[in-house]
Amino acid sequence: MRILLVAMPDTAEVLSCSTFMPNLGLVSLAGQLPDHEIRVLDLVTHRPKVRKPLLDQLQSFRPELVGLSAMTFQFDTLLRVARFVRNVDPAIRLVAGGYHATLMARELAEDPGLPLDFLIRGEGEGTIVELVEALQAGREPSAVAGLSYRSPAGWRHNPDRPLLDLAQIRLPDRRARVCGGFHYYGLPMDVAETSRGCPFNCKFCSITHMYGHTFRPFSMERIVADLTQIRANGAQAVFLVDDNITYDVEHFRRVCRTIVENGLNDMQYAVQATAAGLAQNPDLVAEMDRANFRTVFAGFESMNAADLKTMRKPTSPDINRRAAALLRQHRMGLIAGIIVGFPEDTRESIRENMRLFRQLRPDSIYAQYLTPYPKTKLREEMLAAGLVDNVDRFSEYDGFSCNVRTRALSRDELFRLLKAEALKFALQPRQLRDNYFLRRHARAVLGGAVKIMAMDLYNVLTGRRYGRTLDL
């Protein structure tokens, strides 16, 4: 069977100024279908002009099945892509997966105009294989666990699929990609995972709907094989996209040592990590240094203890400080994750929070608004409190658009305030003097920094988020 897998082009403008990151999930699906013709079209490097590359693949490859992957904020684009595919060739079967399809399958199926034939809920590697087998055999996929599908009698929702045995998942097939251009501050890059899941229960997070309250590591043999493949393909940087890699410190320590033992530390590594996992294990940061981890995205979220308690985030202002100090000690690039928009946030408390963040001396900040993602505890509570101004325009649920207000600040006031504070951070003299990314990737950073500051200024002056329109 000819199968085209498509990743949506939507991404944070702030990220695209420095990094183009490929979709891992789709090449993982491709790896499970070795006996089929698979192409993976990652539209992120084509935006905003995505019509031509999509049409080219539909006309030259003539797929029988098109798979679409999307986060919540990308799902409106997914629907536009699906309608475009349907108009080009009505015979193509369309399947969607990812977080939003998993969270909202029943609600999506209630739309009589939904341009999809199948929805994959949860991990897709097992479901896609069984779906393709059913389609080839010409039978209704009623036995495919984790699948919702359109039948003559209406949409059916098969039972959920149990979590997969990671030992049974084949390596991703990165050769299936039909486009390149992925980079990290100008370095050719790829993405990988060493584990899946997070047992924590942060109110704003929907990961547990995908993986439950579990943590499942891949074997070291599999990790080595995956990273070796990535290097053979020419990557010089790797982003580990694990949901919570520092939950199991011993596992992560073995990952670092395995990278060194197999000579894979000639690539640079970036990772997202919890502050607690770093602060409580100082020797782990030294292991990361030896393995050539050069960038850490740390989910500090807030320097306000009350906000952290509201989120059920397992950290504290002191833990955040200790983690930041360790990363500076080992001269790693620190990207500090910040969230504002909690019910009790005021203009003064947000400014104080940002002042404390500046004291951590991060090299960059990733400042987002509290976002009430579907099916989260946070959404329930904020809806009940009447603090969600945008209830159902999910295309704006990207973290950089403001969808909530606080008891003291309107949605517009909150939006402008954070953008102004982010601009203030970027204009600090120390950001030019001591910045890790500027020292290591000057050309890429300077160009990106100008774009980011211009976007922030646009946001502050207009009260609207900067964005580009797709040509679909």
pLDDT 10s digits, 235-252: 999 999 999 999 999 999
At 167, the pLDDT band (50, 70, 90 cuts) reads very high
Q: What are the phi and psi torsion angles at 388 (to 5°)?
A: -100, 110
Q: Please report the pLDDT score of residue 16 as a whole number.
A: 59
Homologous superfamily assigned to 182-462? tm_1862 like domain (3.80.30.20)
What are the distances in angstroms from CA 274 to CA 259, 313, 337? 21, 10, 10
pLDDT band at 47 (very low <50, low <70, confident <90, very high): confident
Q: What is the pLDDT of residues 102-113, one digit of tens each?
A: 999 999 999 999
In the prediction, which pLDDT does 17 show?
Answer: 59
Contact 94, 122 (CB under 8 A): no
What is the pLDDT at residue 447? 66
Percentage of residues in the chain having pLDDT higher than 90 = 78
Highest mean pLDDT among 8-12, 243-247, 467-471: 243-247
Q: Is the pLDDT of residue 134 over 70?
A: yes
**pLDDT at residue 13, rounded to an integer:** 61
**pLDDT given for residue 466 in this prediction:** 67
The residue behind tokens 């999509």 is 54
> Which has more confidence, 205 or 416?
416
Model-wide pTM > 0.75: yes
Provide the mean pLDDT of the chain.
92
Amino acid 464: pLDDT: 74
What is the predicted pLDDT for the residue at 207? 83
pLDDT of residue 108: 97
How do strand 154-157 and strand 147-151 relate by DSSP bridges?
Answer: antiparallel
- CA angle at residue 237 from 234 to 242, to 5 degrees? 120
**Residue with tokens 């000579």, as numbered in its chain:** 263
Q: Are 419 and 458 in contact (CB under 8 A)?
A: no
What is the distance between the alpha carbons of residues 78 and 96, in angstroms, rounded to a whole number? 8
pLDDT at 64 over 70: yes
User: How far is the C-alpha of 368 from the C-alpha of 419, rounded, in Å?
Assistant: 9
CA distance 99 to 328: 34
Four-way CATH pick for 2-157: 3.30.70.20, 3.40.630.70, 2.60.40.1220, 3.40.50.280: 3.40.50.280
Beta strand spans in 121-275 (E): 147-151, 154-157, 183-184, 187-192, 195-196, 216-217, 237-240, 268-273
Per-residue pLDDT at 300: 93
Whether 130 and 141 have beta carbons less than 8 Å apart is answered as: yes
> If you search the block for the tokens 């199948």, which residue do you land on?
118
Between 115-129, 194-208, 240-254, the lowest mean confidence (pLDDT) is in 194-208
Q: What is the mean pLDDT of residues 377-383?
A: 94
* Lowest pLDDT segment from 79-83, 189-193, 253-257, 392-396: 392-396
Can you tell me which residue has the tokens 């203009």? 347
Q: Which residue has the higher pLDDT, 457 or 183?
A: 183
pLDDT band at 342 (very low <50, low <70, confident <90, very high): very high
Between 455 and 337, the higher pLDDT residue: 337
**172: its two tokens:** 């991703």
Q: How confident is the model at residue 77 (pLDDT cuts 50, 70, 90)?
A: very high
H/E segment holding residue 259:
helix 249-261
pLDDT of residue 6: 98
Would residue 426 be called left, alpha or beta, if left means φ above 0 and alpha means ψ between -120 and 50 degrees?
alpha
Q: What is the pLDDT of residue 238?
A: 98
Q: Where are the domains of the chain?
A: 2-157, 182-462
Nearest alpha-carbon partner for 318 in 290, 352, 280, 289: 280
Q: What's the pLDDT at 426?
A: 82
Contact 396, 324 (CB under 8 A): no
Q: Which residue has the tokens 């790829």?
A: 190
The one-letter amino acid code at 156 reads: R
Which candidate, 237, 207, 251, 344, places its Cα nearest to that of 22? 237
Does the pLDDT of residue 469 top 90, yes or no? no
Name the residue among 448, 462, 307 with its Cα closest to residue 12.
448
Cα–Cα dist 369/22, whole Å: 24
Confidence of residue 311 (pLDDT cuts 50, 70, 90): confident
- Distance (Å, rounded) from C-alpha 401 to C-alpha 419? 10
Structure tokens at 109: 């199926």
pLDDT at 460: 79
When pLDDT is cut at 50, 70 and 90, the band that residue 205 belongs to is: confident
Give the model confidence (pLDDT) of 419-461 as tens digits.
Answer: 999 888 888 887 767 788 777 776 666 666 667 677 777 777 8
Residue type, 320: N
Residue 418 one-letter amino acid: L
Task: Flag whether pLDDT at 358 surpasses 80.
Answer: yes
